[in-house]
Homo-oligomer: A and B are copies of this chain.
Amino acid sequence: MNKDQVSKIINDPVYGFITLNKGILLNIIDHPFFQRLSRIKQLGLTYLVYPGAHHTRFHHALGATYLMKQALQTLKEQGKDISPEEETGVLLAILLHDIGHGPFSHALENSFVKNINHEGVSQLFFNELNDVFGGALDDAIAIFNDNYPKKFLHRLVSSQLDMDRLDYLKRDSFFTGVSEGVVSNERIIKMFAISNDEIVIKEKGIYSIEKFIIARRLMYWQVYLHKTVLSAEFLLEKIILRASSLLKAGENLFVTDAIKLFLSNDIDENKLSESSVLKSFASLDDYDVLSCVKNWVFSSDKVLCKLCEMLVNRTLPKVRISSTPFSKQEITDLRNKHQKKLGVNTNDMEYFVFSEDMENNAYNPKKDEIKILFRDGTLKDIMDASDNLNIRALSNTVKKYYLFAPYF
């Protein structure tokens, strides 16, 4: 093997270059399970609002792995003992943390499988890949599941300041062009220290953390919960729901084999853990789904056809937002009002007019607090450490109610 092949350099517009050494990491990346992530958009249908947002789970996984390398280097320079095996373990854990995502990521998270979220599916993939690679993922699985003795390694994979979050905020901000969401990853990571087996932030990094919390909140309301993005994604969810009900009713519908399996049956965690079913899930991606949607424009089912037309031609449902719930009466009235115009049955109007609520708190002290390490050795929650900004206010949950309809 010549020198050039010791490592692979991947261009990344966000970080410049991502260097990966030959070995288990590159082998995993070459596996079809992982390659499939290059056909799953990180932000689902967000590109309908932010035309640059076509970046993929594949790219995000590489980026988070890059950040993990930076974090490990920072901690090792501080004299923290991390063995080569632990290093590989935590890198694999972050590389595969999103392997369980299905088509259009969060948008369809509950559409193909029931009673299991993407983290649960990731676990199944971890186990399957561990079999394929002869146990090489043992440490990674322990770290991912927080069963590894050095707890801080898990925190790098999953916590308020994990490499997942640090990468996706920056990457999503980069590709959407929403510069308000830019996060100073590099500075935050350089401020990492370990205290009590947890990742904490040195005092000097306090402003970067405040900025991170603000940026996260901005990204939520400006991108992740943008009303037009939600409109498109709920529309897609309704489409899958309708197609599933038609298939279950025995209707003939253009559909790929893999999709048929998931829409004609209720696949839960138990079923999905069968190797062949998991492989079918692994064959799903954005391409099958959107290809079906485009074909369903010609479906004989009026509801399905109309919903699909709306998505393909981007004539999305209109949205109203409120800080209080919309009344059942208001929804019923809207359904009745538009029923004739749309030419669908009253009981099918729930596909077109419906309400949802969304909530976000920029900082959640209950789940995983962010702690600041002061020079004198004391630790404080960022809420208490930040004397100026009312981070506490940001930790309150904000709930918004959305009403969707083709027109009002």
Residues of A at the B interface (CB closer than 8 Å) are 2-4, 6-7, 9-14, 16-17, 19, 30, 32, 35, 38-39, 41, 47-48, 50-52, 54-56, 58-59, 62, 77-78, 174-180, 182, 184, 186-187, 190, 193, 202-204, 207-208, 210-211, 214, 217-218, 221-222, 254, 256-257, 283, 285-288, 290-292, 294-295, 298, 312-314, 323, 362, 375, 377, 387-390, 393-394, 398
8 nearest A-B residue pairs (beta carbon): A390-B393, A291-B291, A11-B177, A54-B54, A13-B177, A390-B390, A287-B290, A180-B211
A186 x B16 contact (CB < 8 A): yes
Give me 21 A-to-B residue pairs in the complex whose CB atoms sit less than 8 angstroms apart, sorted by A's number: A3-B78, A9-B204, A11-B51, A11-B176, A12-B51, A13-B175, A14-B177, A19-B190, A32-B312, A35-B312, A54-B56, A179-B184, A180-B184, A214-B389, A217-B389, A286-B287, A291-B292, A362-B388, A387-B398, A388-B398, A393-B393
Contact assessment for B51 and A38 in the assembled complex, using a CB-CB cutoff below 8 Å: yes
Q: Are B16 and A177 closer than 8 Å at their CB atoms?
A: yes
Name the one of B13, B180, B256 contacting A52, with C-beta atoms under 8 angstroms: B13
Q: How far is the CA of A32 from the CA of B313 in the complex (A)?
A: 5
Return A88 CB to nearest CB of chain B, in Å: 16
Contact A294 B283 (CB under 8 A): yes
* B residues near A47, Cβ cutoff 8 Å: 38, 56
With A3-B78, A288-B294 as contacts: A13 and B375 at CB distance below 8 Å: no
* Nearest CB on B from A358, distance (A): 13
What residues on B are CB-neighbors of A7 within 8 Å? 77
Q: How far is the CB of A79 from chain B (nearest CB, A)?
A: 8
- How many whole Å from A171's CB to the nearest CB in chain B? 10
Q: Besides A16-B177, A207-B222, 15 other CB < 8 A contacts?
A: A4-B204, A7-B77, A11-B177, A11-B178, A12-B177, A16-B187, A17-B190, A38-B47, A52-B55, A211-B214, A217-B389, A256-B295, A285-B294, A287-B290, A323-B387
